[in-house]
Amino acid sequence: MGRVTAQSTEPRPLTEPGTVLHPAEAPDAPWWRDAVIYQVYPRSWADSDGDGIGDLPGITARLPYLRDLGVDAVWLSPFYVSPMNDAGYDVADYRDIDPRFGTLEDADRMLAAAHDLGLKVLVDLVPNHTSSEHAWFRAALAAGPGSPERDRYVFRDGRGPHGEEPPNNWPSVFGGKGWSRVTEADGSPGQWYLHIFDVTQPDLNWHNPEVRAELESVLRFWCDRGVDGFRVDVAHGLVKAEGLPDWHGAVGLYDEVVTEEGPEADGDTSVLDHNAGGHAPMWDQDGVHEIYRSWRRVLDSYGRPDRILCAEAWVKPEERLARYVRPDEMHQAFNFEFLEAPWDGAALAAVVESSLRSNDAVGAPTTWVLSNHDVVRHASRLGLDQHRPRPNGIAADDPQPDAELGLRRARAATALMLALPGGAYVYQGEELGLPEHTTMPDEVRQDPTYHHTKGEVTGRDGCRVPMPWVRDAPSLGFGPGDHPWLPQPEAYAGLAVDQQDGVAGSTLELYRTLLRLRRSLGLGRGSFAWDGRTGGDVVAFRSAPAEDGGEVLVVTNTGAAPVALPAGEVLVASGPLGADGTLPADTTVWLRPTAG
Ligand code: NOJ
Ligand code: MG
């Protein structure tokens, strides 16, 4: 395929206020076009047996909490058999549950319980790589060079007179080299295999028809068990550029870039830009789309209601990302440009405009997201200096976030997100306003990023800490044991579910109100037009939801000066309004303006 040059990121002027930028959905639009989907990180949500690791029976027992929160569906990060070198994103058996999480029967019970509560369930599919403990990789090692078993992965001879240099210069996203050399059966140094992530996550060869058939069969396995969809891991990575050419740009996904020489090689950590200086040969190759077309055919064969695919694709610009959600491909793709936007009205407005435009051009809804298990929680991220690159984790000796400011902005950001048309993902614990754990002792860190960069990059453990359910209980009600797999910071006690449940003004009650109103007003299906207040620190839009035709005005103030609001009924606000009825700093309001 041809090389694509990075496009200018200069924001286009916004559509004129009052002009409909995005039309309302048809009344019979399928469920996923405006669904709110809650991400459960299984090892950290609820532990039923006290071993310190969350599990499926724990999830099943807590599902009524999600019904009461008011979400439509839940996405579970991987629960498959795994050596857990990347928290389960290293799958050794796609068709079975890791004993730490339970059994297939537990999964069936969880699915049935969710469906009884009216919740849909998405599972995680990890098609870019397997674990090195997967039967296929063991067979590949045993079978030797040139074998059909090796052809399921990306094995190559090394460069240099004795093959002692890796086949190309690609680094791993987690730090270090992207290739490892194997020892052949006769004890001689052998071929190299590609691993864009951990050395125990060998990349599959998506040019191999057996690989394609196997992953389609895995889709069917889980569809037959009743799942409603899949979140697709590293959806932009499956196909690599022909010839595996060297690459001198960035490969990072979650933030600071880790180069082959290590993050400090040039005394600098730059911000993620996959396409800096061209088109990265490991990401967003045109060949991935045929894979998703075939998967869509598999899912469509199950009929209505739709089973869905959601792409985890760190692809820029928005137009490139929208190619993953063309009508015959996936249904959703996480809008990471929104997640990455600084707390700045102009930046937020620009990304809202460009994402709605790009997705509308292919007939897809936009999928909003602010937090997940790979990024600093937004209650902390938004309390950092917004002019610096987004960090991958925060350590005790890093600049600490302003917790109060971060939470205020996080509530305002969520209130903005949940009013926007399209779907949205909520990451477990953000409904409690949980901050990142920023003072975790290094000895307990588990993220391979931390270890492969020898602690240079803190990594993602701080956003993966077990949930606080009950203030005065072992492990804050996470489970009967006293030792959760990662320690909970002190601040979590006061934020536990039982401390917020029924408490007016709590973050939990704010989320419940936002989700209830979003549903009753039909905001996820509404039209979108900028309001004339938009500009500078202010993001303001009008939504005319299909449900009752009444217009809702949403205003976010990212600046310091209060913003005047029109007369009308305040439906919900992310924080107290000014005594004079103005919208204070770092606050979002939904209101129904008085007609006339
Ligand atoms: C994306 C997942 O979200 C992340 O947690 C994981 O480390 C990588 N993909 C590799 O599977
Ligand atoms: Mg457990």
Q: Considering Cα of 389, then 392, then 398, then 404, what sign does the dihedral take?
A: positive
Residues with Cβ within 5 Å of ion ligand 2? 47, 49, 51, 53, 55
E-only strand ranges, 495-582: 528-530, 538-543, 552-557, 568-573
Structure token digits, residue 60: 């099943």
Bridge partners (DSSP) of residue 334 are 367
Mean pLDDT by 10 residues, the chain (596 residues): 39 90 95 98 98 98 98 98 98 98 98 98 98 98 97 98 97 95 95 98 98 98 98 98 93 54 35 55 97 98 98 96 98 97 98 98 98 98 95 96 98 99 98 98 96 95 98 98 97 98 98 97 96 98 78 97 96 97 98 86
Compute φ and ψ for 477, nearest 5 degrees.
Answer: 80, 5
**Closest to 536 (Cα-Cα) out of 556, 550, 508:** 556
- The pairing of strands 587-593 and 568-573 is antiparallel
Q: How far apart are CA 281 and CA 203, in angstroms?
A: 14
pLDDT of residue 272: 39
pLDDT of residue 595: 77
**Integer angstrom CA distances of residue 330 from 36, 74, 322, 349, 502:** 17, 18, 10, 26, 38
Structure token digits, residue 591: 């209101």
Question: Which residue out of 75, 89, 124 has the highest number of ligand 1 atoms within 8 Å of its CB and is therefore the one to mutate?
Answer: 89
Please name the residues in contact with 346: beta carbons below 8 A apart, sequence gap of 6 or more. 11, 535, 536
Distinct helix (H) and strand (E) counts, the chain: 14, 19
Is 72 one of the annotated active-site residues of the chain?
Answer: no
In this prediction the pTM is 0.95
| Nearest CA, atom 6, ligand 1 | 89
pLDDT of residue 249: 85
> DSSP string covering 105-148, please?
HHHHHHHHHHHHTT-EEEEEE--SB--TTSHHHHHHHHH-TT-T
Tell me how far the alpha carbon of residue 386 lies from the centroid of ligand 1, in angstroms. Answer: 25
3-class secondary structure per residue, 55-81: CHHHHHHHHHHHHHHCCCEEEECCCEE
Could you count the other beta carbons within 10 Å of the beta carbon of residue 327?
A: 9
How many residues in the chain? Answer: 596
Which member of 25, 55, 228, 312 is catalytic?
312
Ligand 1 pocket list (CB less than 6 A) = 86, 89, 126, 197, 233-234, 312, 373-374
Q: At 156, which helix (H) or strand (E)? A: strand 155-156
Looking at the CA of residue 372, tell me the nearest atom of ligand 1: 3
CB 305 within 8 A of CB 31: yes
Structure token digits, residue 360: 């509308």
Looking at the CA of residue 129, tell me the nearest atom of ligand 1: 11
CB 289 within 8 A of CB 257: no
Q: Which amino acid is at 564?
A: A
CB 525 within 8 A of CB 33: yes
Q: Considering Cα of 293, then 297, then 303, then 308, what sign does the dihedral take?
A: negative
pLDDT of residue 548: 61
Bridge partners (DSSP) of residue 552 are 543
Q: At 93, which helix (H) or strand (E)? A: strand 93-97
